[in-house]
Amino acid sequence: MVMRSLRENTKWIMLILTVAFVGWLVFDWVQSGQRGGGQGANPVVGMVNDREIRYSEWNRHLQQYLQQVRSQASGAPTDERMNEAREQAWTQLVTEILVQQELDRLGIEVTDAEIRQAFRTSPPPQLRQNPAFQTNGQFDPQKYRQFFQSGNVSNQLLTQLEQYYRDVLPRTKLVRLVGEGVYVSEEEAWERYRMQNETARVRYVSVSPTSTVADSAVSVSSSEVESHYRDHRERFRQPPTATLHVVSISAAPTSSDTAAARARADSARERITGTDAEFARVAREVSADSASAANGGLLGQVTRGSLPQPLADVVFSIPEGEISEPVAAGRGFHLLRVDQRQGDTATVRDIVVPIELSRSAEDVIFAKMDTVESLALESDLAQAAGSVEGIRFQESVQVEETSSFVPGAGPLGVGVDWAFNPTTSIGGLSQFYENASGYHILELVGRSPATTPSLEQVESRIRQTLRDRKKADVARQRVQEAVSRLREENASLPQVAAARGWEVRESESFTRTDFVPGLGRGTEAVGAAFGMQPGQVQGPLSAGDNVAILELLEKSEVSRQEFEAVKGQFQRQLVSQLQQQWLSQWMQALREEADVQDMRDRLDQQRAQGGGRQAAGI
C-alpha cells in the first residue's frame, strides 16, 4: 500500500530527498554563478547579529534535533510534532549562537584542569544513564571510574568527552555568572515557606455575574459602544485568515487495540521478579515514557496532586514494593511500584505500555487516505470525502495566520503554515498531515489580508463586553448587600445564600498557591482566607470572573521552629529557582536585543519556484 510503504521507508525517502535537494542547490549554483552569500550551494538561511547561519549548519543541527525527537517518541512523531520540533530546533540554534557570542564578549574560557575535574565528578547525562555504569538502576561512580581506568578506552571517545566539557563548562560558568547576584533573605524564605505550607478551609459562595444577573438588569447605550470602539480600535484588528476545506480520518485506537495493550502490560508485569534491576530492564525495553525508561522506570518523588487521579489512587494505596495491576490512564497502561511513601509524597517507578493502532487498523486508514487523495486529485475534496465511508468533511473552515489551531482538526500548525505559504495556490491540495487526532488533508479555498472590522461588525461583541462589566458591578453590589444583612441580622452564610438562591460550598484544605474551584488561583478571595480567623466572614471578594463571600472554617499555621529545621535547604531551593528565572529573563533580553533574521521561508520559496523537492523538516 502506498501510505504504509511511505511510512515504513521514511528514512530512505528522507535521505533521497535530502540528496536530491543538495543536488538541486549545486545545480542552481552552477547555473547562476556566484550570486552572493544568500544563495548558491550553501546559502545563508539566517543571521544572528552579524553571524551567518548557512544551510549546512542549520540542516546538521535540525537533523540532530529531529533524531532526538524520534528517539523520545513512543511511535513515529506526527507531522504536527515534527513541525513544532523544526521551530524548537531553530530557537535552540539561535540561542546557542547568542550564548557563544556572549561567552566571547565576556572572555569566558575553560582550563584543562577544570575539564579533568569535571570528567571525574560530573559525567555527561548520556553516560550516567548508560546501563553499563549503573547498579540497580542507579548511576554507579565506581563502575564509571573502573571503565576509564581500564586502558581500553578509545581516543575518539576521550576526544568527544573533552569537546563536550569544552562546550558545556563555559556555559555553566556563564549561568553561574548571571545568577551569582541572586540572594534570598531569611525573612523572604520564611514568607515563601508560609505560602507553600499554611492551609485554610472555607465555606463560601461564588456568584457568577453572567449567570445570576439578567441582561435586563443592565443597559448599554450606543454612545458607550462607540466610545469603547474608538478607544480600543486596534484591539479588534484581525490577522490574515485562510478558508479551508478539511477532510479528517480518525486514528483513535480501537477496542481490540486497547485489549492488545492490556495483554502486553500483563506480560510485562509477569516478567518482573521484583528487583530494581529487573524492573529497570523491562522499563527500558517496554516503556513508552522515554524519560523515565532511560532511568529504569524511576519517576522519582511525586505528590498526590501531581498525578492523574487513577494513578494517584493506586500509588497511595498499594503496599510498598508491590507492582500494581495495569492501570489505564491517558493513552496507555501503567505498571506502578512504590519504593517509599510518606504522607502525600512517594518515590515511584512506572512502566507505560502504550495503546497503539494495530497494523490492520493502520492498513484501513492508509487505504482510505490513498483513495481520498486519488479522488480529490481527479475531482475535488468534497466529492472525494463523500465517496469514502468513515471520512469527516468540513467546509469553509476559517484559520488565522497567528494560530496553529484548525477547528475540527485540533493543533495543526503545519497545515496553517501550508495555507499561508505564498507558493500554495488557491484550490491547492495539501498532503495528508498527521496530529494526535488523526490524518487531515486540506484544500485552500481562499485567503484574506489583515483587517480592522467596522463598528457595525463588532458592535454586538462590544455591547456584550460592556454588559458583562455592568453585570459584575451589579453582582458585587448584591453580594455587599448580602454581607451587610448577614452582619446586621447575625444571620448565617447558608441562610443568606438560601434567600438569594446561591449555592454554598465547602473547600478542601488549600494553600495560597493552590487552585480552588469557584475561587481561582492567586485571587483576592484565596489570599483573604489566610488573613481571617475561624468563624469570620468576608466579602465581596474578587474570585476571577466571580464575586465571593468567605467564611473561614479552619486554618493551619506553621511555626518558626518548623521553618528553622529546613531553612537552609529551603533557601537553597529558592535561590536555585530564582536563578533559573533570572537566567530565563536574561536569555529573553538577549534575544530581544539581538538582530535575528530568519530566511528559511525565503529559501523554501526559491526552492518551490525552482521545482526542487523539500527535504525532511527543512
Statement to judge: residues 119 and 245 lie in one domain: no
Q: What is the DSSP letter of 325?
A: P
Give the C-alpha separation, 583 to 571, whole Å. Answer: 18
CA trace torsion 252, 253, 255, 260 (10° rounding): -170
Q: What is the enclosing helix (H) or strand (E) of 540?
A: strand 537-543
380-390 average pLDDT score: 86
Domain membership of residue 141 as a residue range: 112-179
CA trace torsion 261, 262, 264, 265 (10° rounding): 120
Residue 20 lies in a domain: no
Confidence class for position 617, pLDDT limits 50, 70, 90: very low
Residue 520 bridge partners (DSSP): 516
Q: Helix %, strand %, coil % for the chain, to 5?
A: 55, 20, 25
Q: What is the pLDDT of residue 608?
A: 57
Q: What is the enclosing helix (H) or strand (E) of 90?
A: helix 79-106
Give the C-alpha separation, 134 to 231, whole Å. Answer: 64
Q: How many H helices and E strands in the chain?
A: 23, 21
Q: What is the pLDDT of residue 607?
A: 58
The yes-or-no verdict on residue 217 having pLDDT over 70 is yes
Statement to judge: residues 151 and 288 lie in one domain: no
Output 96 or 41, whichever has higher pLDDT. Answer: 96
Statement to judge: residues 547 and 467 lie in one domain: yes
Give the C-alpha separation, 269 to 283, whole Å. Answer: 10
Statement to judge: residues 552 and 420 lie in one domain: no
pLDDT per residue as tens digits for the range 388-402: 888 899 999 999 999
The yes-or-no verdict on residue 9 having pLDDT over 80 is no
The yes-or-no verdict on residue 90 having pLDDT over 90 is yes
Edge-to-edge order in the sheet of strand 438-448: 392-400, 241-250, 438-448, 433-435
Give the end-to-end CA distance of the chain in Å, rounded to a whole number: 26
Statement to judge: residues 551 and 459 lie in one domain: yes
Last residue of a domain, one of 556, 583, 602: 556
In contact, 435 and 251? CB cutoff 8 Å: no
Of 515, 495, 512, the residue nearest 504 (C-alpha)? 495
The yes-or-no verdict on residue 187 having pLDDT over 50 is yes
Q: What is the pLDDT of residue 23?
A: 36
pLDDT per residue as tens digits for the range 577-605: 888 888 888 888 988 999 999 988 776 66
Q: What is the pLDDT of residue 610?
A: 55
In contact, 292 and 298? CB cutoff 8 Å: yes
**Which of 166-175, 185-194, 197-206 has the weakest average pLDDT?**
166-175
Residue 21 lies in a domain: no
DSSP for 169-222 reads HHHHHHHHHHHTT----HHHHHHHHHHHH-EEEEEEEEE-HHHHS-GGG----H
Last residue of a domain, one of 337, 354, 371: 354
Statement to judge: residues 243 and 294 lie in one domain: no
Q: What is the pLDDT of residue 11?
A: 38
Supply the CATH number for residue 513's domain. 3.10.50
Statement to judge: residues 203 and 225 lie in one domain: yes
Q: What is the pLDDT of residue 414?
A: 92
Statement to judge: residues 478 and 526 lie in one domain: yes
Q: What is the enclosing helix (H) or strand (E) of 47?
A: strand 44-48
Q: From the centroid of its chain, how far is CA 159? A: 36
Residue 26 lies in a domain: no
Statement to judge: residues 385 and 247 lie in one domain: yes
pLDDT per residue as tens digits for the range 66-83: 888 887 766 678 888 888
Q: What is the pLDDT of residue 19?
A: 36
Residue 575 lies in a domain: no
Output 237 or 22, whichever has higher pLDDT. Answer: 237
Residue 293 lies in a domain: yes
Q: From the centroid of its chain, how far is CA 358? A: 28
Q: What is the pLDDT of residue 605?
A: 62
The yes-or-no verdict on residue 279 having pLDDT over 70 is yes
Statement to judge: residues 430 and 498 lie in one domain: no
Q: What is the mean pLDDT of the chain?
A: 85
The yes-or-no verdict on residue 474 having pLDDT over 90 is yes
Q: What is the pLDDT of residue 527?
A: 94
Last residue of a domain, one of 338, 354, 370: 354
pLDDT per residue as tens digits for the range 197-213: 999 999 999 999 999 99
**Confidence (pTM):** 0.67
Residue 507 lies in a domain: yes
Residue 213 lies in a domain: yes
C-alpha cell at 344: 502525600
pLDDT per residue as tens digits for the range 518-555: 999 999 999 999 999 999 999 999 999 999 999 999 99
Residue 574 lies in a domain: no
Give the C-alpha separation, 484 to 220, whole Å. Answer: 29
Helix segments in 396-490, DSSP class H: 413-420, 455-488
In contact, 337 and 321? CB cutoff 8 Å: yes
Give the C-alpha separation, 114 to 517, whole Å. Answer: 52
How many domains does the chain contain in total?
Answer: 4
pLDDT per residue as tens digits for the range 282-291: 888 888 887 7
Q: How many CA atoms lie within 13 A of 102 on its CB side?
A: 21
213-239 average pLDDT score: 93
Widest Cα–Cα separation across the chain: 93
Statement to judge: residues 508 and 551 lie in one domain: yes
Residue 138 bridge partners (DSSP): 135
Contacts 24+ apart (CB under 8 A), 451-457: 451/237, 451/238, 452/233, 452/234, 452/236, 452/237, 452/238, 453/236, 453/238, 455/225, 455/226, 455/229
Statement to judge: residues 149 and 162 lie in one domain: yes
Give the C-alpha separation, 50 to 74, whole Å. Answer: 40
Output 345 or 518, whichever has higher pLDDT. Answer: 518
pLDDT per residue as tens digits for the range 350-368: 999 988 888 888 888 889 8
Q: What is the pLDDT of residue 97?
A: 93
